[in-house]
Structure 1
Amino acid sequence: MDTDVELLLGSYQQNQNTSICAWNYNTGNVEHVYKSGGTALPKTLCVISSDYLLTAEQDKPLLHIWPVNSQEQVKNIRFVLPDVVSSIDIDSYNNYIAAGIGLKLYVWHLNSGRLINILQKHYQPITCVKFSSDSSYVLAGGQDGMLVAYKLENVVSYTNSYVSQKNVGECEALYTKMDHSAQITHIHIGTFGRKSKFATTSYDCTCRIYMLQNGTLLLNLILNEPLTYVLMDTTCWIIYIGTKKGSIQRVNLRNPPRSVEYYVDQKYQDIFSSHQKSITCMDLNQTNEVLASGSEDGFVILWDIATKNILRKIERSGAITNLKFVLKYLNFNTQSLKSNIILQPLQKNVDTNMRNFVVYASPNQVVFDDEVEKVSQESVPSETLENAQTQINDLKIINKQLYDAFIKMAKKYNS
């Protein structure tokens, strides 16, 4: 393991002062701490580009954001949510943030803080939210066992987003699954964009694997205990399933069963076993050689994938809530962070007046800017303004035709 390449980020309960630790996972030493954010909720630790860390605080409707090079939070901006969240994710291009709050899925534009849409399909509170690796889809699972998949383009589009407050949430789901009979505890999406597989776990003792693009069920793994967490390796051939009793079951999909339903044998020995309580979080390092697991027993365990040997145990004073391997960015040790990310307070209501705006791009980001320089109509002849408006309307029509043609070609050749 190269200690100069990656860090392991983690959070745990019963520590009000330090919210996130960054460990050198080879030595177990703490290299960075991030303070004063309270206890970080499970499934809320996110990395924004290589610049910021984000978590949601337990029992409070607050987000906390730290520059990666500072133990103190971003100053002069307060990130207040409509209510306490259950899960948060940020898309891979750092444009959008999705959060499960009660029965609703909230989607904000990260740079402007604008609330883009509020979606409600669940009958019981949302438990987990995930973007696909290419930011094409966003998935939400709930206590009702329902899985809802949306195309992100539909969620943020003008026709679906900028509507009156009473009509928010009208975006049609790409598909809805009611396969689980109990709460969905976690969702993991593969790394191949829209061609990926994704997996869900539930307290109904099943781990289900689907095709992301159309929701086709590929495999239903049935175990003999409630499942709490699921993780796939980079190739999406190996699945790690965390259980309520503290074991981690590894399943190799290169030896597929002959039927869609597969009962994992109780005597099946490909198990990582050391935790004494429920598995709460897991992650793999960049090379898929080291598995990090966290549990309610207060231990972070680092496993060697090839041998299943324990490389290191890190003990904390409370249940582990989040784990994430990150590259050891230069920003971790810089004195002055120069970020292209723009942060604004998150709005609580959908902005129905956002009808005229300019879109420009910073690196890999979309930025909405309402503060467009206004040209005095007195200094421009009315005939010139009319001609300009006519050209704009023509361009809109041409762009729409190009878009329709592209979609038609994409559907034809992808089928």
Structure 2
Amino acid sequence: MSNLIEVAVTSDANGSLWSCCAWDPQAGTQLCTYKGGEATTPHGFSFINQEFIITANNSKPLLHIWPVNSQEQVPNLRFVVPGKVTALAISSDGVYCVAAVSEIIYIWKISSGDMLAMLSRHYQTVSSLAFTDDGSHFISAGQDGMMLVWKLSSILTATGYNNQETTPLYSFSDHTLSITDIFIGKGGMRALAASVSLDRTCRIYDLASGTILLNLVFPEALTSITIDNLDTKVYIGSIEGNIFEFNLQTPPRTREYHLNHETLTTKQRFIGHKGAVTTLSISLDGETLLSGGNDETVHFWHIPSKQIIRTIPHKGTITNAKFVLAPKAMFDQETKLHLIANNFKRMIDNQSLNTENFTVEILVSHPVDSSIEAEIVNETVGVAGDGVVTSKGREILNGTSGADLNEVEQLRAEVRRLKKINKDLFEHSVKSVFQNGK
């Protein structure tokens, strides 16, 4: 099993056998099951650093976490959230968890459990969340037909430190009905983003410019979407069970295409599902399409021939199904994986975020000037991120509660001592480099 490049991970709305399961796409056999988390919500599955699986409970305000090589959840850790999660995403570095509860989006730092932001820009339930592959931005889409592009750093700065109301980088309101699925390609903010909706349209956007590139109008309401790794072909699932293929390189190039059953030939369809197609994913080599539907089945398709290679029955509607690179630890049961995490907090602690005292560690290759020294003193006595002196710093500078300017002089003396240590370390390292060079 250790030679597998990819695995397929699926979940269904029943959850009686397992919350999610990893499959061998070549043989169709189970590799690992993850139990105890009940049914997983649609768009409620993700990985943390390719070492842990996290899912959202479909009926309770809980998130569940498993090591990839164990069917038992991480002990002594419960992620209780404000309500039932409707969509979930984890940043690529495994630091931040973004979850939607109805129309509100929450952001937590996994290691500390701190709630960093609450975003309330959607008018109806958020149905999908997805990060760019570099983790710098994420997209939210909802039943209000809106798709919002968020810059993570701006959110954390505005909401977490200055208490300003943050706004999305882009706001797309082109759909007239609920958005059912979104997809982001490779390349960070240079990637393509796509959305599908019950209004029968698929819209493709350029994230770099925030403009719409293509609008595809189909004869059926659309429920799922994926794009191959080369950004050349789009695969779209419908409420009627059809999967349509559209070639982005096929001329003529116009902004809008209206497709109907007559123009969509059998070479552009995957026919096999008996209900709505709820999820789609493409293998790394672009040869296999993975689909799940309301008919409680997962199909593996050979893309060039449009034929079903393998079918895996489930106990309920397929809520998640995707190809992922096989985690190294999945096939090593002896490896003990450790997650740095804390129970999620239920509200934002603005005072803690605004008046946090910073610990300064200095290692520079040049002398520290007076402006840097003043900045270090400010941070040491306690200055908030917006430049306001905290209560601790004010007490020291104003002489209240027994502190006076002697303490400030002591701090400056400590800074001078650290500067000397830093200078000595730098000179010693330079001498070592030259000596080794000889």
TM-score band w.r.t. shorter chain: 0.7 to 0.9
Q: CA deviation at 1:282?
A: 1.2
Structure 2 equivalent of residue 117 of structure 1? 117
Structure 1 equivalent of residue 137 of structure 2? 137
Selected match of 2:412 from 363, 380, 386: 386
Separation of aligned partners in 1, 2:410 and 2:334 = 47
Separation of aligned partners in 1, 2:168 and 2:359 = 28
Count of residues paired in the alignment: 370
Structure 1 equivalent of residue 58 of structure 2? 58
Separation of aligned partners in 1, 2:271 and 2:95 = 39
Separation of aligned partners in 2, 1:247 and 1:344 = 43
Separation of aligned partners in 1, 2:359 and 2:146 = 37
Separation of aligned partners in 2, 1:107 and 1:257 = 43
What value does the CA root-mean-square deviation take over the aligned residues?
2.4
Structure 2 equivalent of residue 82 of structure 1? 82
Separation of aligned partners in 2, 1:171 and 1:391 = 41
Q: Higher relative contact order at CA 8 Å, sep ≥6: structure 1 or structure 2?
A: 1
Structure 2 equivalent of residue 30 of structure 1? 30
SS at match of 2:43: coil
Separation of aligned partners in 2, 1:338 and 1:385 = 44
Which amino acid in structure 1 is aligned with residue 55 of structure 2? T
Separation of aligned partners in 1, 2:416 and 2:136 = 33
Alignment of 1:221 with 2:233, yes or no, is no
Deviates more, 1:213-222 or 1:198-207: 213-222
Tell me: CA distance 1:154–1:381, structure 2 relative to 1, closer, same or farther (3 Å).
closer
Contact 1:3 1:24 in 2 (8 A): no
Greater Rg over alpha carbons, structure: 2
Q: C-alpha deviations, 1:344-402, integer Å up to 9, x for none?
A: 11111112112235599xxxxxxxxxxxxxxxx9xx9752413567999xxxxxxxxxx
Provide the identity percentage. Answer: 36
Q: CA deviation at 1:213?
A: 2.3
Structure 1 equivalent of residue 151 of structure 2? 151
Q: C-alpha deviations, 1:88-120, integer Å up to 9, x for none?
A: 011111111111111111111122111111011
Selected match of 1:295 from 288, 293, 296: 293
Question: Can you give the 5+ residue segments of structure 1 that lack an aligned partner in the other structure?
Answer: 361-376, 393-415
Contact 1:175 1:214 in 2 (8 A): no
Separation of aligned partners in 1, 2:136 and 2:315 = 39
Structure 2 equivalent of residue 322 of structure 1? 320
Separation of aligned partners in 2, 1:102 and 1:43 = 13
Which amino acid in structure 1 is aligned with residue 280 of structure 2? M
Structure 1 equivalent of residue 329 of structure 2? 331
Deviates more, 1:34-43 or 1:21-30: 21-30
SS at match of 1:21: strand
Which amino acid in structure 2 is aligned with residue 266 of structure 1? H
Structure 2 equivalent of residue 194 of structure 1? 189
Which amino acid in structure 1 is aligned with residue 112 of structure 2? S
Structure 2 equivalent of residue 18 of structure 1? 18
Selected match of 1:281 from 272, 279, 282: 279
Selected match of 1:272 from 270, 273, 278: 270
Q: C-alpha deviations, 1:29-69, integer Å up to 9, x for none?
A: 11211111100111011111121111111121000100111
Q: CA deviation at 1:259?
A: 2.4
Separation of aligned partners in 2, 1:61 and 1:30 = 28
Deviates more, 1:10-19 or 1:69-78: 10-19
Deviates more, 1:336-345 or 1:237-246: 336-345
Question: Can you give the 5+ residue segments of structure 2 that lack an aligned partner in the other structure?
Answer: 362-402, 419-438
Separation of aligned partners in 1, 2:143 and 2:154 = 24
Tell me: CA distance 1:235–1:350, structure 2 relative to 1, closer, same or farther (3 Å).
same
Structure 1 equivalent of residue 95 of structure 2? 95
Separation of aligned partners in 1, 2:256 and 2:205 = 13
Alignment of 1:255 with 2:250, yes or no, is yes
Q: CA deviation at 1:248?
A: 0.6
Q: CA deviation at 1:258?
A: 3.5
Which amino acid in structure 1 is aligned with residue 80 of structure 2? V
Structure 2 equivalent of residue 356 of structure 1? 357
Structure 1 equivalent of residue 177 of structure 2? 182
More helix by share: 2
Separation of aligned partners in 2, 1:336 and 1:232 = 37
Which amino acid in structure 1 is aligned with residue 223 of structure 2? T
Contact 1:67 1:337 in 2 (8 A): no
SS at match of 2:412: helix
Which amino acid in structure 2 is aligned with residue 273 of structure 1? I
SS at match of 2:40: coil
Normalised by the size of structure 2, how large is the TM-score?
0.80
Q: CA deviation at 1:329?
A: 2.5
Contact 2:8 2:323 in 1 (8 A): yes
Tell me: CA distance 1:127–1:257, structure 2 relative to 1, closer, same or farther (3 Å).
farther
Separation of aligned partners in 1, 2:280 and 2:199 = 20
SS at match of 2:105: strand
Which amino acid in structure 1 is aligned with residue 220 of structure 2? E
